Structure 1
Amino acid sequence: MRQMIDVAEQVFSARGYAAASMDEIAELVGVSKPMLYEYFNSKEGLLLACIQESRAVLREVTEQAMVGATSAEDALRRGLLAFFVFIRERRQAWSLLRHEMALIGTPAAEEVEETRRQQTDLIAALMSGYFTGDDDLQAEAAAEFVVGACERLAIWCERHEEVTPEMATGYAMDVLWAGLRGRAR
């Protein structure tokens, strides 16, 4: 199953969802097309599995990165670096998450939005642990800004191969931390 998801991620990323074929994926994995359908029910089911896998890995790497943080700034920097490393090292997974416009109105688009909500919830929870005040709406709004800004910066990084994850993290921190600094304990 892991191999099927990995190969499908490669094919979806290279060809796009619409042009990807279950025949090609099955051939590359070395299984029959009916075997893919047995596991995933449909091409869309396979795409959903790919997105869900990417979301799980992204959550794990960002959560693990923040373990041991000594301050709000340190936690944010660690989480951002984990995100930018993820998009650099897992380009195909990132490609699936960012090409949602072709998926509008499908369950796959809902899965991509769930990834955003996951990261927003994670950042809002982080903020509640390190920031003053009990305004949950403000923490959630700030988390939405972080997710949106980092998503756009990640897309920009694709056009600028020379920008390392560390550089992207620095750029993000320069802008984001300026607005968040005043709320830190």
Structure 2
Amino acid sequence: MTTAKRKRVPRAERERQMIEVAERVFTERGYGAASMDEIAELVGVSKPMLYEYFHSKEGLLLACIRQSRAALREVTEQATVGAVSAEDALRRGLLAFFVFIRERREAWSLLRHEMALIGTPAADEIEQTRRQQTDLIVAVMGEYFDDELRAEASAEFVVGACERLAIWCERFPDVTPEIATDYAMDMLWSGLSRRAH
């Protein structure tokens, strides 16, 4: 009877459940200590089914990181739609980022704990997340800058600075996404505004 119920769950939904649980377990235990047995049990599937979907624990981690990256891109991209200026676009994008890390703590944790993953495909996935955000900033802000190379350099700076500020915010729960955005804008926009047209 249990098997019949599992078969009725669409593959995409089952995959989403697996990733959601794995994200939580990886965050709580760390990648090394996380167990595929525990993840399978929490999802309510067999361990072989977990391997059928993701092939390995690393494959499951990569799926978690990719999903987090896609979610981050969607919220930051959508936030900048309708921006009326470079300053407005940057502020909207930063606020979306800080809201994301507040509301999606597990996803953010996976994206930022790359030191233990250096030299692995997961580290490459995390770098792709940074590249994605940099490219998005260039796409949104590029039209306001005459120098494309400077726009790219500025985007790299924004991503790096906001990543560090987000880590700092974890120590201060009273720092809301709005406050973090104000801090970031205070530091970043004064330099960027001199180059924007």
Task: Mark yes or no: TM-score above 0.5.
Answer: yes
Amino acid at match of 1:117: R
Select 1:97's aligned residue among 82, 92, 111. Answer: 111
Select 1:141's aligned residue among 139, 153, 162. Answer: 153
Q: Does 1:85 align with 2:85?
A: no
Amino acid at match of 1:130: Y
Select 2:132's aligned residue among 86, 109, 118. Answer: 118
CA distance in 1, matches of 2:99, 2:161: 16
Aligned residue for 2:32, secondary structure, equals coil
Aligned length: 183
TM-superposed CA distance for 1:130, in Å, is 2.1
TM-score normalised by length of structure 2: 0.92
Larger Rg over CA atoms? 2
Amino acid at match of 2:170: E
**2:89–2:141 contact (8 Å) kept in structure 1:** no
Map 1:64-83; keep pairs closer than 5 Å.
Answer: 64-83=78-97
CA distance in 2, matches of 1:66, 1:183: 20
**2:130–2:159 contact (8 Å) kept in structure 1:** yes
Q: Does 1:6 align with 2:20?
A: yes
**2:87–2:189 contact (8 Å) kept in structure 1:** yes
CA distance in 2, matches of 1:118, 1:56: 9
TM-superposed CA distance for 1:177, in Å, is 0.2
TM-superposed CA distance for 1:182, in Å, is 1.2
Amino acid at match of 1:82: A
Map 1:28-47; keep pairs closer than 5 Å.
Answer: 28-47=42-61
Percent identity, please: 81
Amino acid at match of 2:78: Q
Coordinate RMSD, CA, aligned:
0.6
CA distance in 2, matches of 1:174, 1:152: 15
Amino acid at match of 2:174: E
* Structure 1 consecutive aligned stretches of length 4 or more whose deviation exceeds 2 Å: none
Aligned to 2:191: 179
Aligned residue for 1:182, secondary structure, equals coil
TM-superposed CA distance for 1:123, in Å, is 0.6
Aligned to 1:27: 41
**2:83–2:89 contact (8 Å) kept in structure 1:** yes
Aligned to 2:3: none
TM-score normalised by length of structure 1: 0.98
CA distance in 2, matches of 1:64, 1:152: 23
